[in-house]
Amino acid sequence: MTEQGSIYNHNGQASTASIESRQIAEKFASAIGEFNWKIDYFKFCELLELEPGEYADEQYRYFQQLAESLTRFNVDCLAKMIDAGVEK
């Protein structure tokens, strides 16, 4: 992950995130957002093979928090976190 993206951040500075991480971040955030719009509690349980109940309720709430939280970061920030997490 050494190749740097040519995208600029909100300060007009060139992004230091790799292109690969930007693609991963964009795809992941978009997929989670789309999945959140398309499913309901019962479809969520079915997909994850959970029986509706207390544990499934908790997992569904965590999923909804994840989907909401991902909207609070732009792709560049997410990509930088990915890069930082995989550095040796």
Query: Domain residues of the chain, as ranges?
Result: 19-82
Predicted confidence (pLDDT) at residue 1 exceeds the cutoff of 70: no
Per-residue pLDDT tens over the stretch 25-79: 999 999 999 999 999 999 999 999 999 999 999 999 999 999 999 999 999 999 9
- Tokens 């544990």 belong to residue: 55
Provide the pLDDT for residue 86: 83
Predicted confidence (pLDDT) at residue 10 exceeds the cutoff of 90: no
User: Taking a C-beta distance cutoff of 8 angstroms, is the pair 78, 70 a contact?
Assistant: yes
Who wins on pLDDT, 87 or 32?
Answer: 32
